[in-house]
């Protein structure tokens, strides 16, 4: 179920772009070696072997330089200055060897063509690889122009016709400039992708920080005044109790009332943060899975009309199921289905790419809804949350290599009573009684 492309799917988007860029420039060096290897036969075994060996060395140096230069652009290594000079030196050596073969080697158009091809490919690839390790644009232009001018000077000095020298220089200028431009644009795009990813992470952290601040403000607004009043009334009750005044009991009863009121308000604040909207979670899960390359479909009934408690519990189920699909499996498809059957709402999440429980980290996720598990996040926490509203959760491998998670929650009957309410004032009476016992 893992497949040969698992290593690629595990990469983040910036890592995929970097891998594509890295192997694109690696392929230039490999194409150089293959091109010269196919055209060097007419030169002869001795000279051809020498030229091929030098081109192979040039290709190897270019491969190493690509990796070091891209690592440098990402800040992982220092600038590979020595490797850049090595590429330039080997490029010049290959060019000089090819020109020497043309001048002093066997005669024939095939020999001149093979040597000229080696010169062109080595110069073009060498210029493009060097451009990867240079940050300043004017330096890139200088490298391209310098190699083109050098090719023209060497050919003119060797007695080649002016038009031939100009054609070679123009080929180096255009080909090397194109690859150098590709290198500059590729590095720029790679940096942009990483910056966008970092900006997305920063935005997420800022959203979390803003939410924490808002939560802190809400708690301060809810608890600040009540705690201040509780502190004042407690201090007053202490003073009255020290004087033997019966009014201390009334003050402590008021303190108890304020404490219960604060507790209720804190529950409401926390409940607002803990409740999950089912429709929102379904849309979010579908978007997140689609962004990860997983085809996610949502079908069945709509979340509208379901009780708030049911929606909240199922929203947490969808959130945890989507997290497990992303984190533990190797899924390609995920199907979410919501049904209302015989007074129960059933939510099922099914995905392929199933792995063993040990690999997925879903220990305790047996099909029995009453399996014991430690409290906390994950499926054990979902079971505890569903148990509060008489719901059940089943999770485990299904047929055809699938993994299925099913949550079932009974819908409350419209005529069902909401449950006996605790008699009002019971806590206050108990508090008065306890205070009376310790008050002289």
User: In this predicted structure, what is the pLDDT of residue 419?
Assistant: 42
The model's pLDDT over 199-216, given as tens digits with 9 standing for 90+, comes to: 888 887 887 787 778 777
DSSP 3-state of 23: helix
Cα–Cα dist 168/102, whole Å: 14
What mean pLDDT comes out for the span 398-420? 73
Non-local (6+) Cβ contacts of 3 within 8 A are: 330
Transcribe 235-248 into DSSP letters. Answer: HHHHHHHHTT-THH
* Tokens of residue 123, six digits: 């110069």
User: In this predicted structure, what is the pLDDT of residue 393?
Assistant: 92
Among candidates 151, 133, 150, 122, which has minimal Cα distance to 56? 122
Cα–Cα dist 360/397, whole Å: 11
The model's pLDDT over 25-73, given as tens digits with 9 standing for 90+, comes to: 888 888 887 877 766 666 666 766 777 788 888 888 888 999 999 889 8
The model's pLDDT over 241-268, given as tens digits with 9 standing for 90+, comes to: 888 888 888 888 888 888 888 888 787 7
Q: For the ranges 9-13, 27-31, 155-159, which has the lowest average pLDDT?
A: 155-159
Percentage of residues of the chain with pLDDT beyond 70: 78
pLDDT band at 416 (very low <50, low <70, confident <90, very high): very low
What mean pLDDT comes out for the span 177-205? 86
Q: What is the DSSP letter of 210?
A: H
Report the DSSP pairing between strands 333-341 and 344-351: antiparallel
Residue 78 has pLDDT above 50, yes or no: yes
* Tokens of residue 139, six digits: 């330096």
Residue 376 has pLDDT above 70, yes or no: no
Q: For the ranges 94-108, 345-359, 396-410, which has the lowest average pLDDT?
A: 94-108
Residue 234 has pLDDT above 50, yes or no: yes
What mean pLDDT comes out for the span 140-146? 86
Q: Which residue has the higher pLDDT, 374 or 406?
A: 406
Percentage of residues of the chain with pLDDT beyond 90: 6
**Main-chain phi, psi angles of 274, to 5 degrees:** -90, -25
Q: Which residue has the higher pLDDT, 337 or 52?
A: 337
Residue 271 has pLDDT above 70, yes or no: no
DSSP 3-state of 179: helix
Would you state the torsion angle of the CA atoms of residues 234, 239, 243, 249, taken in this order, to the nearest 10 degrees?
-10
Residue 273 contacts residue 217 (beta carbons within 8 Å): no
Residue 364 has pLDDT above 60, yes or no: no
Non-local (6+) Cβ contacts of 168 within 8 A are: 116, 119, 120, 151, 152, 155, 160
Cα–Cα dist 240/247, whole Å: 7
What mean pLDDT comes out for the span 269-295? 76
- Cβ-based neighbour number of residue 24 at 10 Å: 13
Q: Note the pTM of the prediction, 2 decimals.
A: 0.52
Non-local (6+) Cβ contacts of 10 within 8 A are: none
If you average pLDDT over every residue of the chain, what do you get?
77
What mean pLDDT comes out for the span 138-157? 82
The structure tokens 């419209």 sit at 414
Among candidates 339, 283, 267, which has minimal Cα distance to 315? 283
* Tokens of residue 78, six digits: 């220092």
Transcribe 113-174 into DSSP letters. Answer: HHHHHHHHHHHHHHHHHHHHT---HHHHHHHHHHHHHHHHHHHHHTT--HHHHHHHHHHHHH
pLDDT band at 406 (very low <50, low <70, confident <90, very high): very high
User: In this predicted structure, what is the pLDDT of residue 2?
Assistant: 52
- Cβ-based neighbour number of residue 286 at 10 Å: 19
- Cβ-based neighbour number of residue 224 at 10 Å: 11
């Amino acid at each position: 179920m893992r497949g040969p492309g698992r290593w690629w799917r595990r990469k983040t988007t910036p890592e995929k772009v970097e891998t594509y860029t890295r192997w694109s420039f690696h392929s230039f060096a490999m194409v150089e070696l293959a091109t010269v290897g196919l055209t060097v036969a007419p030169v002869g075994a001795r000279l051809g072997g020498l030229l091929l060996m030098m081109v192979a060395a040039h290709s190897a140096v270019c491969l190493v330089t690509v990796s070091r230069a891209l690592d440098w652009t990402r800040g992982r290594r220092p600038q590979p200055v020595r490797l850049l000079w090595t590429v330039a030196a080997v490029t010049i050596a290959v060019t000089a060897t090819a020109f020497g073969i043309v001048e002093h080697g066997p005669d024939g158009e095939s020999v001149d063509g093979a040597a000229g091809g080696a010169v062109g490919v080595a110069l073009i690839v060498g210029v493009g690889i060097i451009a990867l390790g240079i940050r300043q644009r004017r330096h890139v232009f200088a490298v391209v122009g310098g190699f083109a001018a050098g090719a023209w000077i060497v050919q003119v000095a060797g007695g080649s016709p002016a038009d031939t020298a100009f054609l070679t220089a123009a080929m180096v200028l255009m080909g090397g400039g194109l690859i150098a431009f590709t290198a500059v644009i590729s590095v720029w795009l790679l940096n942009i992708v990483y910056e966008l990813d970092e900006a997305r992470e920063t935005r997420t952290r800022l959203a979390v920080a803003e939410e924490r601040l808002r939560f802190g403000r809400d708690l301060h607004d809810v608890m600040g005044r009540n705690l201040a009043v509780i502190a004042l009334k407690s201090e007053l009750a202490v003073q009255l109790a020290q004087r033997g005044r019966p009014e201390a009991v009334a003050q402590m009863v008021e303190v108890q009332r304020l404490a219960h009121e604060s507790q209720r308000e804190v529950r409401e604040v926390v409940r607002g943060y803990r409740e999950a909207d089912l429709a929102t979670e379904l849309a979010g899960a579908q978007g997140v899975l689609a962004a990860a390359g997983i085809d996610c479909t949502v079908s069945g009934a709509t979340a509208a009309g379901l009780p708030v408690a049911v929606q909240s519990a199922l929203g947490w189920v969808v959130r945890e199921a989507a997290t497990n699909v992303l984190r533990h499996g190797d899924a390609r498809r995920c199907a979410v289905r919501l049904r209302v059957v015989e007074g129960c709402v059933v939510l099922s999440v099914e995905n392929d790419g199933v792995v063993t429980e040990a690999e997925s980290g879903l220990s305790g996720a047996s099909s029995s809804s009453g399996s014991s598990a430690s409290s906390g996040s994950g499926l054990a926490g979902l079971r505890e949350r569903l148990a509060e509203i008489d719901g059940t959760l089943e999770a485990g491998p299904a047929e055809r290599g699938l993994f299925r998670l099913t949550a079932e929650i009974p819908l409350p009957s419209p005529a069902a009573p909401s449950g006996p309410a605790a008699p009002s004032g019971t806590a206050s009476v108990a508090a008065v009684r306890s205070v009376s016992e310790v008050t002289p």
